[in-house]
């Protein structure tokens, strides 16, 4: 199953300039999701990170993994995307292996490690052209939005 940006925006609460997933290319509910972010020189963070040598901040690569992980959680155990949010609780074993630069397509893969009730443990990898850029284990929880 593929998801375009319209469907992604119906699931994620994020909006410009903080949407870090452009397309989902494949989902196996309860198991794995694949997608990507096209990294453009027009991204606002490149103005200061770093002038003359632009590199996508590692925390935003992790954010991309967390966002696509939220889409996997939604596809696996649908929740009310308007009434609930998936909060990022933490990351373990995070490593940054290679820089992500303007013009790159950041490929994202997240797998379910464990799911109990509203808590998800996920394993994510971000690559560019087959080269591992970042990896880690993510912990997230689905909670009701405060009204």
Catalytic residue positions? Answer: 49
Instruction: Give the neighbor-by-neighbor strand order of the sheet with 131-144.
Output: 23-28, 32-38, 105-116, 119-128, 131-144, 84-96
Distances (CA, A) of 147 to 15, 83, 84, 86: 19, 9, 10, 15
């Amino acid at each position: 199953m593929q998801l375009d940006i319209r469907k992604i925006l119906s699931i994620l609460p994020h909006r410009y300039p903080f949407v870090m997933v452009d397309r989902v290319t494949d989902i196996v509910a309860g198991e794995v999701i694949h997608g990507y972010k096209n990294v453009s020189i027009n991204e606002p963070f490149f103005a200061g990170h770093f002038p003359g040598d632009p590199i996508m901040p590692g925390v935003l690569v992790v954010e991309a993994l967390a966002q696509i992980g939220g889409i996997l959680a939604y596809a696996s155990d649908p929740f009310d995307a308007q009434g609930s949010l998936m909060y990022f609780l933490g990351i373990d074993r995070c490593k940054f292996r290679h820089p992500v630069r303007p013009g790159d397509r950041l490929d994202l893969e997240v797998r379910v490690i464990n799911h109990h009730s509203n808590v998800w443990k996920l394993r994510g990898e971000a690559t560019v052209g087959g080269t591992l850029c970042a990896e880690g284990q993510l912990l997230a929880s689905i909670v009701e939005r405060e009204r």
